Amino acid sequence: MMPLRRPPFATDPNEPLRQGPYQSPLRDERVAALLGVALGLLFGICFATGLYSHIQQHPLRWLPVPAAPAGLYRITQGVHVAAGTASLPVLLAKLWVVWPRFVAWPPVKSLAHLVERVGLLPLVGGGVFMIFSGVANIAQWYPWRFAFPAAHYWVAWVTMGALLAHVGAKWAIARRALAMRSRRPPLAEADPALGTSAEGRLALLAPRDPDVGPQGRPVNRSAANAGVIESARSPDYRLRVDGQVAHPLALTVDELEAMAVNHSTLPIACVEGWSYSATWRGVRLVDLLRLAGARPGASVRVESLEADSPYRASFIDSGQAHSGNTLLATHLDRQRLDLDHGYPLRLIGPDRPGVNQTKWVTRVVVL
């Protein structure tokens, strides 16, 4: 059999990273370990905040989501997107530093080495997929056929599993490398900290400007795209409150506007990482539930005029539904809601993802 020929730039996996054609002084174990720690922290933050977002959007019966602090989701999701975006340059740097290992020769030295190398596939592949799909999602660019949230969620588990195995395999080497005094000043590390707030608007590392849009606020799905322009303006519009209630309600726009006397200052925090806080005026959901004779403590589904969209309805658990802060809003910062912001009526509640702040609300189903 022909012996495997060594490719021109391959290195020996037993030798240090910096050798042959890979002479940069930045290629050393210590830099690799520092980048690894930074990446592990950033991915860990993304995973924890991502799980919170997932639970908000796929509620578990036995796990209520808090209704206070109202800005909690705004913080967790802002951190999620900022940490995910910050991990892109860190991952690229890490791959560049350890690249000699990928082309090491022979490709496999032992069974343990084979296992370690196979484990790099879900780790590197998963990491690249998570960052690429996340960044593409906040850019609202979908160059794929799968459903983004499901893929982003499941690949996260695979990536975290591979990451744990990798940390286990590299723990000893990384500790030794970090204990060594560096010969050069260490590399600048990524800073996952939150940016500064500009009067309640925040979009650190997020591509959308929270100031641009109707009423000075961004819009992800317009009334035209949702196909609700006619139904939202129709004199036949009613807000129905039904389901498990003693007296179903059907309210006109005039009736709702007359009832809209409560104010809440609450953020909209999109999963994309941008958010803004506003003062909303509207009818308290808990008052509507009482008026309809719903069981105290009931949870609720809120439905939109929009026909087929994954965001046409959202669930509110008992705690959020009975928070006096949760409104069916008619006004945004003293102005009648723009059609694109959900006219005639939108849901706004504390500590909820933007996707759960349903616009063009026409029905409240008590569960």
Q: What is the nearest approach in angstroms of ligand MTE to the Cβ of residue 231?
A: 12
Does the protein bind ligand MTE through residue 137 (CB under 6 A)? no
Residue 159 site contact among ligand MTE, Mo ion, none (CB < 5 to 8 Å, cut-off depends on kind): none
Q: Pick out residues in 325-354 that bind ligand MTE (CB under 6 A).
A: 341-342, 354
Residue 304 site contact among Mo ion, ligand MTE, none (CB < 5 to 8 Å, cut-off depends on kind): ligand MTE
Q: What is the nearest approach in angstroms of Mo ion to the Cβ of residue 353?
A: 7
Query: Which among 49-57, 130-138, 235-243, 308-316 is the span making contact with ligand MTE, rule CB under 6 A?
Result: 308-316
Q: Judged by CB under 6 A, which of 219, 285, 328, 339 binds ligand MTE? A: 219
Q: What is the nearest approach in angstroms of ligand MTE to the Cβ of residue 270?
A: 3
Residue 311 site contact among ligand MTE, Mo ion, none (CB < 5 to 8 Å, cut-off depends on kind): ligand MTE
Q: What is the nearest approach in angstroms of ligand MTE to the Cβ of residue 329?
A: 10
Of the pair 222, 244, the CB lying nearest ligand MTE is at 222
Q: What is the nearest approach in angstroms of ligand MTE to the Cβ of residue 304?
A: 4
User: What is the 3-class SS of the chain, one letter each residue?
Assistant: CCCCCCCCCCCCCCCCCCECCECCCCCCHHHHHHHHHHHHHHHHHHHHHHHHHHHHHCCECCECCCCCCCCHHHHHHHHHHHHHHHHHHHHHHHHHHHHHHHCCCCCCCCHHHHHHHHHHHHHHHHHHHHHHHHHHHHCCCCCCCCCHHHHHHHHHHHHHHHHHHHHHHHHHHHHHHHHCCCCCCCCCCCCCCCCCCECCEECCCCCCCCCCCHHHCCCCCCHHHHCCHHHHHCCCCCEEEEECCCCCEEECHHHHHHHCCEEEEEEEECCCCCEEEEEEEEEEHHHHHHHCCCCCCCCEEEEECCCCCCCCEEEECHHHHCCCCCEEEEEECCEECCHHHCCCCEEECCCCEHHHCCCCEEEEEEC
Q: Judged by CB under 6 A, which of 45, 81, 226, 253 binds ligand MTE? A: 226
Of the pair 58, 247, the CB lying nearest ligand MTE is at 58
Name the residues that contact ligand MTE, by CB under 6 A: 217-221, 226, 268, 270, 304, 306, 309, 311-312, 341-342, 354-355, 357-360
